[in-house]
Structures are given as structure tokens and as C-alpha cells.
Chains A and B, each alone.
Chain A
Amino acid sequence: MFEGSKENQKLLASFEFEPGKVEKGYTDRRLYINLSENKIEEKPIDLQVKETFTGGRGYGIWYLWDAVSSKTKWNDPENEIIFCTGPICGVTQYSGTGKTHVVTLSPETGTVNDNNVGGYLAPFLKFSGWDLLEIRGKAKEDVIIFIDGNKGKVIIEEVPGINSDTYLLVEKLTERYADDEKDKRNLSIVSSGRGAENTNLGILNVTWYDVRRRKVRIKQAGRGGTGSVFREKNILAIVTKYTGVNAGSNNAAYPELITKAGRRLTKEILELDHMQCGMREIGTVNLIDHMQNYNCLPVHNCKFGSHPDAIKIDSKVWHQRLTQNQAGDSCWVGCAMRCSHAVDGFELTTGPLIGEKVLVDGPEYETTAGFGGNCGCFDPDFILEANFYCDNYGMDTIGVSTTMAFLMECYENNIINKEITEGLELNFGNAKAALELIHQMAEGKGFGKIAGLGIRQIKKILVEKYGADAEFLQDIGMECKGMEFSEYVTKESLAQQGGYGMANKGPQHDENWLIFMDQVNNQIPTFEDKAAAIRYFSLFRTWFSLVGLCKLPWNDIEPEDNKQKYHGMEAAKVPEHVENYCWLFEGVTGKRISPEELILQSERVHNLQRIFNLKMGFGTREHDIIPYRAVGPVTAEEYESRKELYDQQLKEILKFNIKNKTTEEKVKALRDYREEQYQKLCDAVYNRRGWDSNGVPTLERIKKLKIDFPEVVELVKEYRS
């Protein structure tokens, strides 16, 4: 293990820079590192790029577009991993402003991927003087990149032979790079783990120091295998150090606007959160109860939407397990939402740290629903252990649990057996086998070697090597574009099916989450309504990633009278919070912005990302198809579990005579109807977005958006239908 001895390291490169001056939220420069050449450089952000793509993920996608060719693979040295800040990032007077957005080519999808993550990285990077950290190339041995924002120094050190797992590594690195206990709060570390080395499901952990607990805390950039790119480049860690964050660090144009927005939101959170989502008490895991009650909790690989044992992992349980009233649960300074909860002193029962009492960051809703419901292991201790080890190994809890649920269904259908799994009995609910598989995945051993590839590649192996039924695997394998679904059952929400299927990077809920507006509230009944919602909300959510914000304070809290003042989709936008964002943007940058212009900023980036998919050989209609399990009941068992509902739909909507019909006949009739509905939704969404019937942005649209750069136009022309 890492001994913290500075003598063991070999200095590969050193670079000195003028410590940054942030002007109205921007530094207008990027830190470029080429690990193959041990080169560190300052590069400017072009004015046209700033005006067109706003910041954050917009910058990241543009500079990645510029860096890679259509032939670049995720593990080629020219693939870059880009850490993005954003103009509003680092504001301390408004909740949820500390997000880092990470852009790279994904090992799962082969195309551009984006993630957002809390922790102190992005604000520290920006206040050190960098809007972006852009890393290209591949180191020969493991390296640590250290950025000292106050001294104006960047170094790359070679540090071979160190265990990359996060839990102990970040503690050691914090000790090593902090001058004293007080200085620990000035560090943010990016790390991953051995699971990222041996699977396609690698994550990044980003730290902040919890002063009250005296512990390093972590949040995850989770989807699409970003951590696998990080470890492929042989980056052990990135350590950023910055001292001196204050309310004026962004050198904002109109600080009074920021204060006005901040006061309004903080008052709402403190007065209303305990009556609304309870984010300050249990965070996102509050959703378990509601997903169970509304039949949206993934159970047994999304076969079902609820389960009687869900009570064992509901919010009451987590309220007791999560340590309460911890000021350190804010993953950036000044966030009143404070939703990054943790379980202290959890004793591990398996793996390399067996017997250790550890701090588990989480669990979040997705982890709980994935391991608890989807894998059928309704055991809080199992969920905590799986959560801990996935984080520690640098693996995505969503990707791992959705893959595991798929494998469990394959096991129960005799598609795989003990011979193939090398002895693992992968039945739903077998927590012991599930934990063993997590360790095997991280080590790249046994059946874990196959499991770590993710569902798309596993399906291929099962068909080619073991003669599995490809159509059935396509129906039950919960992936789209190569990325595993996050943890919601979408069978009764056509809008959310589209929200997942037509998301640029793959089926992750951060682009769209429309289940309740659609399935429960019935507020968007027509195709046009659903298309309008999918367009608006995907763009609105994209905006957070351009400016460095967290989504949660937008609509996990809302003004008490929001629903009386506003109606339908308008209420779902939370107009007073949209107004806050306009104030924030103007307050920081000095540029007045309307809600419509905010959407326009996003639309440019969203369309470029779609076109980036085209560049990498994806991005057309066929790649928006989702597995039928996300649309309706695949099997008779699923149909029978909600027979009353499905029979009623067949009778009332399709006028289908169900008398004397077998369940299989009814499954087929329902399937024909629902698959047709999904295609009609695609038509409506493409039309609303200004894309052609193949899902390709039209030349008119890209001209209107002012992203008609020659290489973009050339690419789009190739796909003109």
C-alpha cells in the first residue's frame, strides 16, 4: 500500500503558471496535459467556443470533438478525459454549485459520454485558474497529477505499484498533500480503483474533506465507464489543492443577484424540505417508498415494479441507518440541500477489507433500487457492502446492479448455469453470490471477467458461445446504446421510455425523468405533449452541465405555492427556480438571460452531442430502440402479474377481444401496439427537435443554432434522408 513517502516518486513533468484570475465566472483558459509526452500546457478558450457552447460540458464536448476522429476508440491515447467547470460553478451563496462535469469516449457505448459529480474538484480547478482540465495520452506507469492552485504549479509524478482502490488511497493522499489537519479541506482528489481497470463499468470518485467527521468523503461520476478511461491512461489520482474560497471567488458581475437567488432558495429548503422530499434527512433514497407504491421500482431485472419485501429497504430503514444532522453532508460549500448522506462505522463482512469498520457514502436511490429491488436482495447490509465495494473498486453501482440483474434472469432461465458462472448460484436474492461476483468483477477473475463487460457485450458472448436466444436477450437486457438502464420501471410511461431511448449518451435519467408527469399525473397525454416535454426537460437538464450546477435543488424542493400559481408542464418547470437560474447567470457573467435563451444555450450542445454520436457511427433512429422489457411485459409471468391492467388496456384501447385468448396471445397483441406507440413517439420527438425522421439534426436546425461549422455540416450532409 501507498506509504506516502515522497522519495519513492519520480517527477515526470513540472509546469508553472500564473495563478488564475476568475473574471465573471470564467478563466478563459484550459489546462492541457499529454501523458504520452509528459507535456503540460496552458491553452486559451476561444471566444467563439465560449459564445457558442457557454461552458462546462459544452466546452468538454467541443474540445473532445476536436481531439478525436471517427476511428478513435475509448482506449486509444488520443481519447481525452476532460474535467469541466462552468461559469456558475463554485458560487457559495446558492445550493448545488459544485459540480464537475466529465466528458470522454465511453468503453460501453464507443461514443461521447458525460457525467456529473459532486465534491470540490471543479470549483478548486476554476479558482486555480482553469475552466477545463483536458488530459490526453497514456502514461507508461501509474501517475499522480498534482495541481497547486495557489502556488501555480502542476506536476506529474510516476508512482508505480500502488493499490488504486479509493478508500485507503484518498485517505493516504489527503495526509500526504495536506500541510496539516486544517489544510485537508483545501484538497479534492479524483481516484478510481481496480474495478475500473478490469471492467467497462469504471467510475471516478471525487473527494471533499468532511471537517466534522474528519473523514474524506466521495461522490461518483458513475455512468459509461469514465473511470475505465482514467485507469487506462494510468492515472492513479488527480490531486487539486486550493486555499481561499470565498463568496467573491467568481468575481461576479452583480453579486446582489446571486444573493437574492440564494436567500430565496435557502429559505425554501430550510422551511419546506422536511415536508417535501426530506433530502436533508435521507437524500435521494426517499424515492424507494414512492417508486414501490407507484409500481416503478425495478424488481428482478425490471420484470416487476414492486415487491412485498421492499419495506425492508424503505426510507424508514435508511433514516435509522444514515447518520443524521451532519453539516459535512454538503458536497460543496454553502449547499443547504446537504443530501450526501453516509453510514458511519459499517463493518464489512467480505473482500479485502473484511472486518474493517468503514464509512459508506450513500446509499443513493439508484444503488438501493439496483441492488435491493432489481437483484432481489432486500437486505440493507448487503446494499451497504455492495455500495462500499463498488465505490472502493471504482465501479458504477447502476451498471453493476443492472448487469447483475440481467445475469440473474439468465441464470434462472438456464441461459447460464453453474458451469458457466464457475460455481456462482446467481438466483435473484442471493446476496452472497452477488457480493462474490462484485469482487470477481473488480479482480477481473472467474465469471467476473465476463460480467464486467456490461450487458451488450455479455449478450454477444452468450449468443455466440453458448447458443442463447438473441431475441430474448435483446428483450430482457436492459441496455441501450451499450449503457445499462438506471433504476426505474418505465413500462407504463411512454414518455420516459423515450426519455431513456432518445437520451444522447444512453439510458440515464439525468437527461429526462418524466414518469410521474406522464404515468401518474397524466399531464402529457398526446404524442405532441410528450415530445414537448422530452424536448424541454432534456434541454433544461442539459443546462446544469453547461454552467456547473447540480440538478437536485431545481425540483427536489419547490416553493410552497408552485402548484397553485402554475399548472401542468409549467408547474413542473418550477418557474421561480428558473428565474433564480437566470439571476444567477446574469449575476455571475453580467449577461442578462431569459428562460428561452437558457434553453437555446443547451440546444446547441445537445445537438452537437447528437452529431458527435453520428461521427462515432451511432446517433440514428436504430440506436434509439430500447429493449422491450422497458416498454411492456416480455413474458407471460410479467403479464399475469398485472393482468387486470393489461387486459383493460387491450379491451379499452385496442378493442381487442381477450375472451379465450392465451396469455401469450395477449402479450403479443400488447407488444405490437406498444412498439408502434414508441415509434410514433420517436417521430414526434425528432420533429419537435428539428431532426429528420432518422433522428439526424437537419441542416436548417444546425444553421439556426449557429453550430454549422464546416465539419459538422459535412457530417450531417452524409446522413441527409
Chain B
Amino acid sequence: MIKVNGRDREWEENLTVDLLLKKCKYSFPLIMVKVNSKYIPKEKYKDTSIMDNDDVQVIHSIAGG
């Protein structure tokens, strides 16, 4: 189990930041990702693995209407 924005989510093997964003349908371009409080730059999404019990924050800057 991992946490995504404070909510539980099933962990799976070979999960990366990039894959997690796709699975969550997090399409918005203006987001900031932290794994266990460590900031992950966009260019490292594909190479950054997410391990079981990790705490992931995906903060969207969507502004709305």
C-alpha cells in the first residue's frame, strides 16, 4: 500500500512516478511531485521508482474558472 495525497492506494511492482500519474489520470501539466517529501523533477518521472509504503504527493496547480 502507498499513500497518494494522503489517501491509500494499492502498490504494484515496477511502479514509477510516470506510471502512477497515468494510472491516476493525472493529466494536468502543472503539477509538483514529491516522494517521501523529496521533490522529483519532471525529467525524472520515468526513472523514479515508487516502493511499497511510499508517501507520494502530487500537487496540482489547476486554477479553475
Minimum CB distance partner of B57 in chain A = A521
Once the chains bind, are B65 and A522 in contact (CB under 8 Å)?
Answer: no
- Contact: A488 with B32, CB < 8 Å? no
The residues in A between 273 and 287 inclusive whose CB is less than 8 angstroms from any CB of B are 275-277, 284, 287
- Say which residue of B5, B29, B32, B39 sits within 8 Å of A520 (CB atoms): B5
The verdict on A510 contacting B65 (CB below 8 Å), with A516-B60, A520-B60, A521-B59 known, is yes
A275 touches B5 (CB 8 A): no
A513–B30 contact, CB under 8 A?
A: no
Distance of B39 from chain A, by nearest CB (Å): 6
Known A-B contacts A275-B29, A277-B30, A293-B27; the reply to A563 vs B64 at CB < 8 A is: no
Tell yes or no: A538 within 8 A of B by CB.
Answer: no
CA distance A513 to B64 in the complex (A): 6
For residue A359, CB closer than 8 A to chain B, the reply is no
B26, B61, B64: the one within 8 Å of A509 (CB): B64
Assembled-state Cα–Cα distance A510/B64 (Å)? 9
Q: With the chains together, A150 CA to B30 CA distance in Å? A: 45
CA–CA, A563 to B27, complex, Å? 17
- Contact A522 B64, CB 8 Å, known A558-B30, A571-B59: no
Is B25 in contact with A293, judged by CB distance below 8 angstroms?
A: yes
Asked whether, in the complex, the Cβ of B32 is within 8 Å of the Cβ of A522, the reply is: no
In whole angstroms, what is the CA distance A558 to B26 when docked?
A: 19
**Do B39 and A516 touch (CB < 8 A)?**
no
Cross-chain contact A564 with B60 (CB below 8 angstroms): no
- Secondary structure at the A interface, as helix, strand, loop or mixed, is helix
State whether B27 touches A522 (Cβ < 8 A): no
Chain A 448-489: CB-based contact to B (< 8 A → 1; otherwise 0): 000000000000000000000000000000000000001010
By CB atoms of chain A within 10 A, which of B27, B29, B59 has the most? B59
User: In the complex, how many angstroms separate the beta carbon of B56 from the nearest chain A beta carbon?
Assistant: 12
Whether the pair B63, A556 counts as a contact (CB closer than 8 A) is yes
For residue B64, which residues in chain A have a CB less than 8 angstroms away from its CB? 287, 488, 509, 513, 515-516
Q: How far is the CB of B10 from chain A (nearest CB, A)?
A: 12
B17-52 toward A: CB 8 Å interface, digit per residue (1/0)?
Answer: 000000001111110100000010000000000000
Q: How distant is the Cα of A562 from the Cα of B59 in the complex, in angstroms?
A: 12
When C-beta atoms are compared, the residue in chain A nearest to B60 turns out to be A516
Bound CA–CA A287/B30 (angstroms): 12
| Contact of A366 with B by CB under 8 A | yes
A window 489-546: CB within 8 A of B? 509-510, 513, 515-516, 520-523, 525
Residue of A nearest to B61 (CB): A558
A290 close to B (CB within 8 Å): yes
Interface size class of chain A, counting residues whose CB lies under 8 Å from the partner chain: 20 to 34
- Closest residue of B by beta carbon distance from A499: B64
- Please indicate the chain A residues that have their CB under 8 angstroms from the CB of B29 in the complex: 275-277
A368→B61 CA distance, assembly (Å): 22
> Which residues does chain A contribute within 8 Å of B30, judged by CB atoms?
276-277, 558
Residues of A58-114 whose CB lies within 8 A of B: none
Chain B binding site: helix, strand, loop or mixed by DSSP? Answer: loop
Q: Which of chain A's residues has its CB closest to B63's CB?
A: A555
Question: Taking the nearest CB of chain A, how far is it from the CB of B29, in angstroms?
Answer: 6
Cβ-based interface call for A177 (8 A): no
Q: Please give, as numbers and ranges, the residues of chain A lying within 8 Å of B65 by CB-CB distance.
A: 284, 287, 365-366, 486, 488, 509-510, 513
B27–A516 CB distance below 8 A = no
**Which of A290, A555, A571: most chain B Cβ within 10 A?**
A290
Cβ-defined contact, B61 with A290, below 8 A: no
Known: A488-B65, A509-B64. A523 touches B59 (CB 8 A): yes
Bound-complex Cα distance A366 to B65 (A) = 8
Q: Is A294 an interface residue (CB 8 A)?
A: yes
- CB of A521 within 8 A of CB of B39, answer no
Residues of B with C-beta under 8 A to A708: none
A513 and B61 in contact, given A276-B30, A564-B32, A564-B39 (Cβ under 8 angstroms): no
- Whether, in the assembled complex, A347 has its beta carbon less than 8 Å from a beta carbon of chain B, the answer is no
Query: A571 contacts which chain B residues (CB < 8 A)?
Result: 59, 61
Residue among A510, A520, A525 having the largest count of chain B Cβ atoms under 10 Å: A520
Q: What's the minimum C-beta distance from B63 to chain A, rounded to whole angstroms?
A: 4
- Cα–Cα, bound, A275→B61 (Å): 13
In the complex formed, the residue of A with least CB distance to B62 is: A516
Q: Which of B25, B61, B62 sits near A562, CB closer than 8 Å?
A: B61
Point out the residues of chain B lying under 8 angstroms from A275, CB to CB. Answer: 29
A289 within 8 A of partner (CB): yes
- Lowest 10 A-B CB distances belong to which pairs? A513-B64, A509-B65, A563-B32, A555-B63, A293-B25, A522-B5, A516-B62, A293-B27, A522-B6, A516-B60
Q: Can you add 13 more A-B contacts, CB < 8 Å, to A277-B30, A366-B65, A571-B61?
A: A275-B29, A276-B29, A284-B65, A287-B65, A293-B26, A294-B25, A365-B65, A488-B64, A515-B64, A522-B5, A564-B32, A564-B39, A572-B61
Could you list 28 examples of A-B contacts with CB < 8 Å? A276-B30, A277-B29, A284-B65, A287-B62, A290-B27, A290-B28, A293-B26, A293-B28, A294-B25, A294-B28, A365-B65, A486-B65, A488-B64, A488-B65, A509-B64, A509-B65, A510-B65, A513-B64, A515-B64, A516-B64, A520-B60, A521-B5, A525-B6, A558-B30, A558-B61, A562-B61, A564-B32, A572-B61
